[in-house]
Amino acid sequence: MPENQLLGSVTVKSVLTKLSIVSDTATTSSSGSDNWQFDAYKNASTALLASAKTTSGAEIAANTEYDLGTLNATNKYLAVGDTLRIQVTKNGTPTDLSGAKVTFQAHVRKDLA
């Protein structure tokens, strides 16, 4: 699984409604010390998630959309030129996803305000 994935640049003023991933490989036996952690950022370091999401207690099911959690209520508003980035951290020895096919998804809607 890539550790740092640029999702792209915003081309129209938007509101981020959801961040998710889909993996062809499931995770199992995640724990507080052995898990995958997901963080998302706008531009260099503005947090998009209210808190990091880990697979501890919330395993990834194969070929099923995996929601990365609650978005930051303020930072979910996107301007033209903003970049979106997912950071993935491997903590301990979670399920090996090095050969997995993983798709990162940013769900947005046009901001009409």
Please give the model's pTM, rounded to 2 decimal places.
0.90
Is residue 42, in this structure, part of any structural domain at all? yes
Q: What is the pLDDT of residues 17-43, one digit of tens each?
A: 999 999 999 999 999 999 999 999 999
Question: pLDDT tens, 53-67?
Answer: 999 999 999 999 999
Q: 47: which 2 tokens?
A: 């947090």
Q: DSSP letter at 59?
A: P
- Are the C-beta atoms of residues 97 and 2 closer than 8 Å to each other? no
* Residue pair 58/64 in contact by the 8 Å Cβ criterion: no
**What total of structural domains would you count in the chain?**
1
Domain that holds residue 44: 4-108
What integer pLDDT is reported at residue 2 of this predicted model?
66
pLDDT attached to residue 3:
80
28 domain-assigned: yes
Is 113 inside any structural domain? Answer: no
**CA 28 from centre of chain:** 19
For residue 66, being part of any structural domain is answered with yes
Q: What does pLDDT average to over the chain?
A: 93
Per-residue pLDDT averaged across 94-105, rounded?
92
Report percent pLDDT > 70 for the chain: 98
